[in-house]
Amino acid sequence: MPISATPTPGKTLVSPTDHVLIMIDFQSQMAFATKSIDAVLLRNNAALIASAAAGFKVPTILTTVAEKSFSGPMFDEITEAFPGQPLLDRTSMNTWEDAGVIDHLNTLGKTRVVFAGLWTSVCIVSPALSAIDQGFEVYVIADACGDVTDEAHDRAMDRMVQAGARPMTSLQYLLELQRDWARTETYDMTTGIAKKLGGAYGLGIIYAKSMFNAHEG
């Protein structure tokens, strides 16, 4: 039987309304030992996905571990994107074992979860595998995670992918939420985030608009 294509998005693409973003342990103490990604790039990518989630009104959980006693505050780039939102502090390294986080997650009613945070091999792999075991669809924003070595990060990503998690990147997350430049209500916001935090892509947008008044779509 021939297959007939239709102009509809694939079911595994994320949209602003179909998932919860969980940002885990973006804290000073965790960042100090992170070596698999440069700290400046990590903060940039964390800011990019936080700005994207806030702009597209994605339900987002911000969680820390031992904030007051050990790990320190969450990155300002994240908390400034969600002014006034409480941080759910934990003792458990596995976010999925924290009743407060899970209670909040359950109130949101989503079965697709996107994770980002520190460290990949501990505080990301544990909830990702736990969520998969319970039937959730799991995505991991690989370049908004980091670990003490490249090996630790890479093997954790391998383990999650082998279990069924879908890897993506920060810029991919932003552009997948937008997906169509004809969506004019979020066009300026998306390109604004990209210009500020999208690296060389953002520079390209600035150049094209300044030199030629170019416009996507």
Q: Any idea which residues carry the catalytic annotation?
A: 123
Q: How many CB atoms lie within 10 A of CB 88?
A: 19
Q: With H, G, I as helix, E, B as strand and everything else as coil, classify residue 73.
A: coil
Question: Reading across the β-sheet that carries 60-65, which strands appear in turn?
Answer: 88-90, 60-65, 20-24, 112-118, 137-146, 166-168
CA count, 13 A, side-chain hemisphere, 139:
22
- Measured CA angle at 185 (ends 181, 191), to 5 deg: 55
Q: Report how far residue 109's alpha carbon sits from residue 75's, in angstroms, rounded to the nearest whole number.
A: 27
Q: Say how far apart CA 99 and CA 91 lie, in whole Å.
A: 11
CA distance 155 to 196: 31
Q: What's the rounded Cα separation, in Å, for the pair 112 and 68? A: 30
DSSP single-letter state for residue 111: S
Tell me how far apart the alpha carbons of residues 113 and 105 are, in angstroms, rounded to a whole number.
9
